[in-house]
Amino acid sequence: MPRKTLSLPASTVTSTIKNLEKYLKVRLLNRTTRRVSLTPEGMQYLAQCREILALIEHSESTLSESVARPQGRLRVDMPAGIAHFIVMPHLPDFYRRYPDIYLMIGVSDRQVDLIQEGVDCVIRTGELNNSSLVARPLGRFRWVTCASPDYLREYGVPPSPEALTQHRAVHYFSRSGEAGR
C-alpha cells in the first residue's frame, strides 16, 4: 500500500524498509510471496511514528495559529503628539482586530534603550542617527510654523524661514535637546 500512496516503485519501498530494519536491528514486516504484514515490533513502531507525526502536525498548527493571531505583550514608545492624535483614536479598532495583544504605550521624546527598558518598538520622527536600530518609514509629517494675528500685526510677517531667528517664538525641543523644526 505505501508504494501506491507515495507513487513509488515497489523496489524502492522494499529497499527503504530493509534499510530501516537494518538500522533498527529489528524486523518490521512479515513477508511471504503473497502477503506482507506487520510484525508486533512493526505495529509498535508504526503506532509510535503516527503519534510523533500527529505531535508534529499539532505543533505546526499551533505555531501557524500564533502567527496568524498575534498575542502577548507589545511595548511601544512614542512622542506625545503621535500617541494623542494618531495612535489613541485607532486603539478601539486595534483591540478589536488583535484582542490577544496587551499593548503598553510609553510616551516620551527621549532616546529609548530598547533592550535595557524592555521596549519592543519605538515610533520617532526625523532621521535615525548613529544607531544599530532598524528603521522603517511609517509616514510623513509636515512641520508648520504658526503665529497669531496679534503677533503678526505687532512684529510683522517674517519674509523667510531664516528670518524666524529674529522673532520671538515658542520652539519645540525634545529631551535630547534637539530643536523641532
| Angstrom distance (rounded) from CA 78 to CA 110 | 9
* Alpha-carbon distance values, 168 to 143, 149, 155, 180 (Å): 18, 14, 9, 15
Q: Which residues, 6+ apart, have CB-to-CB distance to 10 below 8 Å?
A: 3
Reported as a single tens digit per residue, the pLDDT across 86-97 is: 999 999 999 999
For residues 37-46, average pLDDT? 95
Helices (H), 25-130: 40-68, 80-82, 91-97, 114-117
Q: Which residues, 6+ apart, have CB-to-CB distance to 121 below 8 Å?
A: 74, 75, 76, 77, 114
Is residue 140 within 8 A of residue 109, CB to CB? The reply is no
> What's the whole-model pTM score?
0.53
Q: Name all domains of the chain by residue range, CATH numbers in brackets.
A: 2-68 (1.10.10.10), 72-122 (3.40.190.10), 142-181 (no CATH)
Reported as a single tens digit per residue, the pLDDT across 113-169 is: 888 999 999 998 877 776 777 888 888 877 778 889 999 999 999 998 888 888 887
Q: What is the pLDDT of residue 106?
A: 94
Closest CA to 82 of 128, 122, 133: 122
